[in-house]
Structure 1
Amino acid sequence: MSYVASGGEFDRDTDYITTRITADGRDGYPVEPGRYRLVVARACPWANRTIIVRRLLGLEGVLSIGFCGPTHDEDSWTFDLDPGGVDPVLKIPRLKDAFLKRFPDYEKGITVPAIVDEPTGQVVTNDFAQITLDFSTEWTDHHRDGAPQLYPQELRDEIDEVAQRIYTEVNNGVYRCGFAGSQAAYDKAHDRLFRALDWLSDRLENQRYLVGDTITEADVRLFTTLARFDPVYHGHFKCNRQKLSEMPVLWAYARDLFQTPGFGDTVDFVQIKQHYYIVHTDINPTQIVPKGPDLANWLTAHDREQLGGKPFGDGTPPGSTREGERVPAEHAA
């Protein structure tokens, strides 16, 4: 499978299943504890967002989770981490099975995160951007006591504006570099990415979080790209003006979030590297996974507390990660 854009500039396909799970069930899928399964891959930054938000809001008890392996073939993400290669709840070996169960002629990409209706085995949505917003706004009756306000009403316009720029320029910007099919397209993408990172650095120099004094949806969206920057994007995607660890403000900001319960404890660096270096064979035909970089520095002091703010506002951090959902110690920083 080829990932590099043959025409030069990479253009992401954003045609997702936009069905929503809502409190009033207007799309036919009401919020119901125990009804749905969130399917993710720890390697994927888009899926990693949903793992973080589910944990921060305390939805573990009402929304089950299934983990695909770090690699996939041309056809589908697979449940190769589970016994027999079959998801224990959905009883399927490939995520594609849930898509075809609802849309027999489905021809788009099989992407994570996806939410599957357990009773029918049918996919409900893979619209990653909307999923986490709905966790914050539609699942409120099931939030844990002390859950943070990740998408507060009074800050939504600003969060949306910042998040949109993060998506186009950073989240997708690293892929625009990595999948560029010409020198000109790469040069343009590289400069565009680092202009955005410089903007973020300036924004965060004197404030602890992107919007307001607490963690919001915008921080979650930026964090998953920053966590993958040095292990993957700097080398594999040629985003190499600087490493994250050479950008003082963003590096301190990323470490601050990483050391906050709900963020770093969801990051599996081994699976992240396996995914990119093994799956993208047109970029890395040997499929050799690099040993570096040293990740212990993620746990060093960041000193961002002096900027004020409280990560959870008037709320509290989430408790320990559930058994069966923990990142193996040897895969973490």
Structure 2
Amino acid sequence: MNILTSRQEKILELIVLEYVKTVNPVGSKHICDELNCSSATVRSEMSTLEDYGYLEKTHISSGRVPSEKGYRYYVDNLMKQEELNGNDMMNLQIIFNNNKLALTDCIKKSLEIISDITDYTTVVLGNKSSDNYLKKVEALPIEDNKMLTIVITDKGFVEHKKVDINNISLDEIQKTVELINKLLIGTPIDEVRKKLELEIKPIINKYVKQHEAIYNAFYDVFNDFTSKNVSFVGKNNMLKQPEFNNVDKIKKIFDKFESPEVIDFIEEDKNDVNVYIGKETKLDDDVTIIKTKYKLDGEEGTIAIIGPKRMEYNRVVNMLEFVKENLEER
């Protein structure tokens, strides 16, 4: 590996930061203005960085852009660890200060905020359902012929689903909820569907007119809970990035988003905030994934942010560290 001088490091850092901000190749004039040195010196240093593989020259401009190797060097050696800026911290702190939010809602809303203010895609991989036990079931009428079915676990995870309740009386729904709460509280989530079929269904078959419809409604929400472990926020933000304005390219990325290979890659990690760039991501050469695990009551989940290689690395790393720290303090 080539050893960079302090001036070469500063030039690489300036090019990364400027390109992230403008999406335009960076010329020597900008560097000269920042470093107060001659254009000949800067051009020579940029040429050396290109020879070393840290910069690339585009065909449409005399300026340079960071290569994958250049981004990696920046992240590993030049990126400054700073506190989250005031606005970002305030937006996220509002979520963590709301003690009424269930854990799953807290995670989802914090990632929604990150997605909104960065225009990146966020991902959460929740705890395995086998680690959760049923704490409570609720059913709330929300509009004509619809109810909101809610499942809450001992770990604070919540699953809710709108279901049709045509011709089902609220009284019969409430009877079923009371029955489930009486007989199934404390049951491992993975076992609830089986017990629902073997223990609850025979009872409601006798006492509830629309027993099949009610059974299916509750079965579906438990099925969603045990099978749905991955949630993406802001997928379409990828379309806002100029790197992904090719229809075929973005379609391939979207198709890969929930592939077992990519999900396994996102899930497998150390506890620190980790940065994966380009080919390292298993997703696309122009993508960066920054991710970390969080631990709650001994259980683990993963949160990740997906964006272009031209990502605001320092800002995103700070956001993930802030979210991780606040989640683990709840």
Higher helix residue share = 2
| TM-score between the two structures when normalised by the length of structure 2 | 0.25
Structure 1 length normalisation: TM-score?
0.25
Greater Rg by CA:
2
Looking at both structures, which has the greater relative contact order when contacts are Cα pairs under 8 Å and sequence separation is at least 6?
1
